[in-house]
Amino acid sequence: MKLPFFGGVHPDGHKGLSAAAPLAAMPPPARVAIPLRQHIGAPCKPLVKAGDAVRMGQKIGDGEGLCVPVHASVSGVVEAIEDRPHPGGGLCLSVVIKNDFRDTPDPAMKPRPNPEKLSPEELIGIIHQAGLVGMGGAAFPTDVKSQTCVGHVDTVILNACECEPYITADDMLMRTRPGDVLRGLAVFMRILAPGETVAAVEDNKPQAVEALKQQLPKTPGIRLKVLPTRYPQGAEKQLIQAVTGRQAPSGGLPRDVGCAVFNAASAAAVCRAVYEGVSVYERIVTVTGEGVKQPRNLIVRVGTSFQEVIDAAGGLTDDVWKVLSGGPMMGIAQSSLSVPVTKATNAVLCLSNAQNGESGRPVCIRCGKCVEACPMRLEPLYLYRFSNAGNLDALKRLSLMDCIECGCCAYTCPGKVPLVTGIRKGKRALKEGAK
């Protein structure tokens, strides 16, 4: 059988843990700590100070350049602006708000008159002001992505694959709010004027597929494509190849082959921003894994701590091993549960000791499985070795920056070599060398 893209793996899905859990709104916490860095690019500067009263949805941080605003997720009083732990690692300047539990909305958040008559430029401006980023985990500013694709793409793709194991946030979103997802996709169609628009879903989400099918007549011009389940099909370049057969060049972007890809949660957020005037201050989070008592899909306010999210899912089991932000393949292990949910947090994954695949000293047996599995046609072992050796010239020659850190190499490695960890180290070294 011809594969839709090179490499890839078929890890156990484990989606059944949370797929049957109904979507529920988590009550907002007494305090939220909202990071001023929730996107790729420059962090925001605070627009408020300690003692200020704020309303839900109010802009509390903004900046220039590659930057999008952040908004208050509750109404209340700013208690502090201070460094707090960030799920991406390290500390981040954050706005701490004491919740008054009134959810008083910002007056700017209201339905727009005649949203169908807005120009592409106006739509991009709305997307920016609402604080939209790639909500599948990439967190790239959506307005910048849209603007740079204008006039360069003929195909728009909705990324509804959610191929990472355990996570069911987008699946639940499509099952409960398919209209928002497709209306948001239609907004991108108005901005980019593509010749073709495709909603791509993997075949392990039959309820989501059916829900989208029911909505398609209301949003003409969108074609639904159901793909065979394969990881990492949700990565942009792999999805483009699976849908169109085109292959983005090394170092290139989707627009280089005439495509633009947007996540399902991002599309739904765009719909709310354009039609309802709602900024991004909450999102769906899957709380799952064998290490949590009651896996759930929750609508969570940005700034809510992982500890409070886990408590809303019944708490941790006695044999929890590790807590990740994201899924098991690309997620980041957390050293503290005080870190907050951000716009890009699609899952809080709690693994038990039974999932501990770590062994003793890692060793390469030269089996070549990492090369076979790499969807970018790289040589992960050599990238790992040259990263540890600090050989930047070799890393450039081997196209290290093409690595999407999907984890396929580490997943297939029988010697348990921490390939992705080493590759990330090499990327940091290359970036520092460039500076």
Q: How confident is the model at residue 359 (pLDDT cuts 50, 70, 90)?
A: low
The lowest-confidence range among 3-12, 290-299, 386-395 is 3-12
Q: Are residues 231 and 295 in the same domain?
A: no
In a domain, 5, yes or no: no
Q: How confident is the model at residue 98 (pLDDT cuts 50, 70, 90)?
A: very high
Distance (Å, rounded) from C-alpha 243 to C-alpha 7? Answer: 16
1, pLDDT greater than 50: no
Distance (Å, rounded) from C-alpha 121 to C-alpha 369? Answer: 47
Express each pLDDT in 130-141 by its tens digit: 999 999 888 999
Q: Are residues 164 and 81 in the same domain?
A: no
- Where residue 211 sits, what CATH number does that domain have? 3.40.50.11540
Q: Are residues 226 and 338 in the same domain?
A: no
- Which domain, by its residues, includes 87? 20-108+279-354
In a domain, 339, yes or no: yes
Share of the chain above pLDDT 70, in %: 98
56, pLDDT greater than 50: yes
In a domain, 7, yes or no: no
Q: Are residues 410 and 321 in the same domain?
A: no
Q: Which residue has the higher pLDDT, 75 or 435?
A: 75
208, pLDDT greater than 60: yes
Share of the chain above pLDDT 90, in %: 94
Express each pLDDT in 156-168 by its tens digit: 999 999 999 999 9
Q: Which of these, 62, 84, 87, 57, lies nearest to 73 by C-alpha position?
A: 57
- Mean pLDDT within 236-240: 96
User: Cβ atoms within 10 A of the Cβ of 310, count?
Assistant: 22
In a domain, 206, yes or no: yes
Phi-psi region of 362 (alpha: psi -120 to 50; beta: other; left: phi over 0): beta
Q: Which of these, 112, 159, 154, lies nearest to 135 by C-alpha position?
A: 159
Number of domains composing the chain: 3
Burial zone of 34 (CB within 10 Å; 0-12 exposed, 13-18 middle, 19+ buried): buried
434, pLDDT greater than 80: no
- Mean pLDDT within 270-298: 98
